[in-house]
Amino acid sequence: MGSIVDELEAVLGPSQLDVSEVSLRRYAVDQAPVIDFQLPVAVVFPETVAEVQAVVKACADSGVAIVPRGAGTGVSGGAHATRNCIVLSLERMDRILALNPDDETAVVEPGVVNAALNEAAAEHGLMYAPDPASFRSSTIGGNVATNAGGLRCAKYGVTRDSVLALDVVLADGSLIHTGHQTFKGVAGYDLTGLFVGSEGTLGIVVGITVRLKYLPREVHTVAAFYPDFRTAAAGVLAVGKARVQPAIMELLDGGTLTQLDDIHGSDLSARGRSLLLVQTDGFGAAAEADVVRHVLREGGATVTTEASAEAERLVELRRHSRGTEVDDEYRVGEDVAVPRSRLVDYVAALEAVGAAQQVHLKVVAHAGDGNLHPTFWIDRQGPAIDAGAMDRLQAALDESITAALAMGGTITGEHGVGQYKLRWLGQEQPEQVRQLQRRIKDLFDPEGILNPGKAI
Amino acid sequence: MGSIVDELEAVLGPSQLDVSEVSLRRYAVDQAPVIDFQLPVAVVFPETVAEVQAVVKACADSGVAIVPRGAGTGVSGGAHATRNCIVLSLERMDRILALNPDDETAVVEPGVVNAALNEAAAEHGLMYAPDPASFRSSTIGGNVATNAGGLRCAKYGVTRDSVLALDVVLADGSLIHTGHQTFKGVAGYDLTGLFVGSEGTLGIVVGITVRLKYLPREVHTVAAFYPDFRTAAAGVLAVGKARVQPAIMELLDGGTLTQLDDIHGSDLSARGRSLLLVQTDGFGAAAEADVVRHVLREGGATVTTEASAEAERLVELRRHSRGTEVDDEYRVGEDVAVPRSRLVDYVAALEAVGAAQQVHLKVVAHAGDGNLHPTFWIDRQGPAIDAGAMDRLQAALDESITAALAMGGTITGEHGVGQYKLRWLGQEQPEQVRQLQRRIKDLFDPEGILNPGKAI
Ligand SMILES: Cc1cc2nc3c(=O)[nH]c(=O)nc-3n(C[C@H](O)[C@H](O)[C@H](O)COP(=O)(O)OP(=O)(O)OC[C@H]3O[C@@H](n4cnc5c(N)ncnc54)[C@H](O)[C@@H]3O)c2cc1C
Ligand SMILES: Cc1cc2nc3c(=O)[nH]c(=O)nc-3n(C[C@H](O)[C@H](O)[C@H](O)COP(=O)(O)OP(=O)(O)OC[C@H]3O[C@@H](n4cnc5c(N)ncnc54)[C@H](O)[C@@H]3O)c2cc1C
């Protein structure tokens, strides 16, 4: 038996196999902090389901690990290379195979970029609802593997809620089809749901049937500035108490506003120390926006009277609020979620942790879902980076997680456990529940070649 | 080791164990046709999680099968007793443990009746969205075990979409907690989703955390009468093409209208041979109803100008359109779903099947989801019940299923496979997919004591 590279050469075209140093480096990591850097043995770019099957079979025969990869925008290290692995990129499988406007469904290959599907759907008055802020680059396959959330998930649900059926290549190279082409279907166990969010550890997703929703014809956006973050968080609860369901409800703290100003030359931080962005959509959008404006003003917000277009621009800015920085050992973004009623408490806890550990903090939140993205960081140079700074950063991370769990929260609302969040998983899930998942993993992948050391 | 009844006596109070003939008969079957009548050895009524655990342990020790049961409104035979089993009724575990209006969640015991949860939620302007027509009697535990759909699922999703977390007693009597109290959470595999719809074959659901939605303050109902069923089905697609998302879109054929008239003394069948009921809700309800009325009129409907209240009464009638009949060997209700674009074709196919096999047919449909409930029946007496009638009924059932599958449909949109639909499962799911499910079943229930012979 030859090396895995020889085996792969036998089943792929020359342009589909890359072992160049530059490519191996490029495909070695996603956007998460790296804790155990490994170079893959090769990167492969299958273009058909049969090629994916052939690659998986070759790896199964050789006992080589496979790290599936979409666009590599993941922020938990799910697509980080591991020891003696190949990276299997789905990026060339990027065709929309069917768009059925009457069925309100689409069938896509995994490498289709989220925004591309949405553009195609928009021509028919439809949308693919789950819209991670990375929608311009992340793939539907990656979204499925992480059960991605997004801005308008407050109203329209997460990826799981839009996926009807999957084609999956299993660890032995065989292909199965799960789910149904219909909106509803309950025949047998929900294998589709099991694959969604499994981060490439149970199978390679090679085809996805999604349900599309109606593109709202009317959208209203309200921008509410607050003197501080906690009052803004209280605004989220006030909208809920008014029993208005916005499509989008995003919360940005002062640190985020300052950063956006730095990047875009805007004047957000001069207008408030926190910003709540609320978007209503559909036939009732105007009436809902009226209620939202009213309750937010009552809660102490300065609600912009500016045109909706201006507020919409702020939503666009928010979509880019991660900026261009990539997390690393000095800077880590998190993804906790808490029950909505605890939003204000949790924000207070975060601020206390940042202050106690003397680390920088900024927070954006999909607040409608109680899903917060705090980022803690320390300066890379200068007086602040003393011997203890790295420890204090880690302590802040740990404490912010513990606080979320203590409030009935979770360590990951949408980014997945990947590699980076494994260290906290035991705090959320007791051993018996983890054991069950390991046994499911064993059942699907007895040799452990699919994305080992991730997710569970 | 004593008999299982002795074992159960040791762990339950005297009022929690029933072996009387009348009770055994009453709890032997649900609402589905019976193909293999069996009396259970006993019926038990645990009142606490610990008691459920004790019962499961006793059965595990004795190798006795357990058939979990909510209200017994299932129509697939999922709660039918099997050989040497006990029936474990959850009906006494009927407390709403928490209702958190700020979190917009509730925590309930499995025996809570769907309508009871909705009443409690309504006091806070909230609702538990999935509303099977059986909502006045069916339990949340049963709804979870079948992944029940309902009328307003067109807009608000099925049971799966509202379940956040579960407490489940496993086949060895141990208790696990799955999921999260937050709206979003992606830590580990989606065990919650795996239990939802597993029809009691993977574990006993003893606690459920659900997400609540906002009770709409405004509801508009449109009743559209059509000269025939196919034109009415086309109306469903027309509403979709207008990109209006109703909360409810129910379709009733002539046979159903006649039956409702018989039961309620109404004059529906004089007004049309088919009725499409559309309900819009929320802040945009009035505007949406206007669009709906317009497109339905254009499609040939007689749209009632009567007050919304009158149309709402029709929705109430629809909820009871199964009447009081229970399916049996002469009368079988089905639950197929087809992609929406095939609704009209499928209705035509059903009519052709009914005519060819000379059996009666009536159809109601959660049409917004493409989910149809055709009922085929033959007369119990008189000239029609010749030797071949029973065969023709079965042939009609088989042909209606085959037609749905040929159109990309499923054998069950919401009722579950239970015992009755097992005969068609192989037509929908290939052996490899079924094998995977059997292996998951083995992993959770190696001795096969949990609802054997059901669902997969
Ligand atoms: C600026 C920015 C904003 C973001 N905003 C959001 C947000 O709002 N919501 C959110 O949920 N996430 C967000 N993310 C995280 C990330 O974009 C999502 O997790 C996304 O779903 C990853 O898609 P991808 O195609 O980049 O997948 P990758 O990063 O390549 O992979 C992600 C995981 O899925 C696996 N995988 C990928 N494709 C497949 C496949 N076909 N079959 C099996 N496994 C596969 C990988 O092995 C890995 O474990 C953001 C990231 C960035 C950088
Ligand atoms: C008039 C009428 C209208 C209906 N309308 C609809 C409808 O619109 N939509 C729809 O989806 N269904 C409908 N149904 C079917 C039925 O009501 C649903 O399947 C319902 O979810 C069953 O709930 P139940 O409490 O009666 O459960 P049961 O019938 O007692 O049990 C159903 C299944 O779940 C299992 N089970 C029950 N409780 C538990 C538990 N706690 N843990 C584990 N397993 C359990 C049982 O073993 C069985 O397999 C209707 C039925 C009738 C009679």
Tens-digit pLDDT profile for residues A430-444: 999 999 999 999 999
CB contact under 8 A, B243 and A429: no
A29 pocket-lining for ligand 1 (C-beta < 6 Å):
no
Residue B93 confidence (pLDDT) above 60: yes
B217: which residues sit within 8 A by CB, 6+ positions away?
Answer: A243, B282, B283
3-state SS class at A15:
helix
User: Cα(B166) to centroid of ligand 2, in Å?
Assistant: 17
Across the interface, which of A157, A181, A213 has its CB nearest the CB of B339? A181
Give the ipTM: 0.96
pLDDT of residue B264: 87
Residue B340 confidence (pLDDT) above 70: yes
Report residue A347 as tokens.
Answer: 């924000």
Mean pLDDT (whole number) for B406-425: 97
Rounded CA gap, B425 and A332, in Å? 48
A139 pocket-lining for ligand 1 (C-beta < 6 Å):
yes
* Residue of B49, B69, B414 best suited for mutating to test ligand 2, as the one with most atoms within 8 Å of CB: B69
Rounded CA gap, A443 and A90, in Å? 24
- With contacts defined as CB-CB under 8 Å, which chain A residues touch B455? 188-189
Rounded CA gap, B337 and B369, in Å? 8
B400: which residues sit within 8 A by CB, 6+ positions away?
Answer: B334, B336, B349, B350, B353, B374, B376
**A96-214 CATH fold:** 3.30.465
Ligand 1 atom nearest A199 alpha carbon: 49
- The residues spanned by each domain of chain A are 2-89, 96-214, 219-319, 331-428
Number of C-beta neighbours around residue B1 at 10 A? 7
Pick from A312, A186, A70: which is nearest to B455 by CA? Answer: A186
Residue A305 confidence (pLDDT) above 80: no
Residue A383 confidence (pLDDT) above 90: no
Mean pLDDT (whole number) for B378-394: 80
A419 pocket-lining for ligand 1 (C-beta < 6 Å):
no
**Residue of chain B whose Cα is closest to the Cα of A201:** B189
Residue A410 confidence (pLDDT) above 90: yes
A415 pocket-lining for ligand 1 (C-beta < 6 Å):
yes
Residue B70 confidence (pLDDT) above 60: yes
- Note the pLDDT tens digit of each residue in A207-238: 999 999 999 989 999 999 999 999 999 999 99
Check for a shared fold between B2-89 and B331-428.
no
3-state SS class at B367:
helix
pLDDT of residue A411: 97
Number of inter-chain CB pairs under 8 A, A vs B: 261
Across the interface, which of A158, A410, A434 has its CB nearest the CB of B180? A410
- Note the pLDDT tens digit of each residue in A66-121: 999 999 999 999 999 999 999 999 999 999 999 999 999 999 999 999 999 999 99
pLDDT of residue A310: 79
Rounded CA gap, B399 and B401, in Å? 5
pLDDT of residue A284: 96
What's the CATH class of domain B219-319? Answer: alpha beta
pLDDT of residue B329: 81
R_g over Cα of chain A: 22
Percent of chain A scored above 70 by pLDDT? 97
Residue A1 confidence (pLDDT) above 60: no
- Position B133: which residue type? A
Residue B1 confidence (pLDDT) above 60: no
User: What distance in Å separates residue A266's CA from the closest CA in chain B?
Assistant: 32
Burial of A347 from C-beta contacts in 10 A (0-12 / 13-18 / 19+):
buried
Taking the mean position of all CA atoms in its chain, how far away is CA A60?
Answer: 29
Across the interface, which of A176, A188, A410 has its CB nearest the CB of B417? A188
CB contact under 8 A, B186 and A288: no
**Architecture of the domain made up of A331-428:** 2-Layer Sandwich (3.30)
Percent of chain B scored above 90 by pLDDT? 89
Report residue A40 as tokens.
Answer: 């893959």
pLDDT of residue B309: 78
- With contacts defined as CB-CB under 8 Å, which chain A residues touch B131? none
- Note the pLDDT tens digit of each residue in B35-67: 899 999 999 999 999 999 999 999 999 999 999
| A124 band by pLDDT with thresholds 50, 70 and 90 | very high
Higher pLDDT, B323 or A302: A302
Phi/psi of residue B252, nearest 5 degrees: -125, 135
| A309 band by pLDDT with thresholds 50, 70 and 90 | confident
B300 touches B231 (CB < 8 A): yes
Q: Rounded to whole angstroms, what are the CA distances from A313 to A18, A310, A374?
A: 40, 5, 23
User: Cα(B12) to centroid of ligand 2, in Å?
Assistant: 25
| A61 band by pLDDT with thresholds 50, 70 and 90 | very high
**A2-89 CATH fold:** 3.30.43
Report which bound ligand comes closest to the CA of B373: 2
pLDDT of residue A384: 53
> Does the pTM of the predicted model rise above 0.90?
yes
Report residue B439 as tokens.
Answer: 């292996």
Mean pLDDT (whole number) for A379-385: 68
Rounded CA gap, B275 and B246, in Å? 16
B67 touches B79 (CB < 8 A): yes
Report which bound ligand comes closest to the CA of A79: 1
Average pLDDT of chain B? Answer: 94
User: What distance in Å separates residue A45's CA from the closest CA in chain B?
Assistant: 27
- Note the pLDDT tens digit of each residue in A180-203: 999 999 999 999 999 999 999 999
Number of C-beta neighbours around residue B98 at 10 A? 12
Across the interface, which of B178, B194, B288 has its CB nearest the CB of A193? B194
Residue B177 confidence (pLDDT) above 90: yes
In this structure, are strands A163-169 and A204-211 parallel, antiparallel, or unpaired?
antiparallel
- Note the pLDDT tens digit of each residue in B274-328: 999 999 999 999 999 999 999 999 999 999 866 677 788 888 888 877 666 677 8
- With contacts defined as CB-CB under 8 Å, which chain B residues touch A174? 432
Lookup result for tokens 């094998």: B435
Taking the mean position of all CA atoms in its chain, how far away is CA B75?
Answer: 7
3-state SS class at B345:
helix
Rounded CA gap, A203 and A89, in Å? 14
- Note the pLDDT tens digit of each residue in B94-109: 999 999 999 999 999 9
pLDDT of residue B385: 63
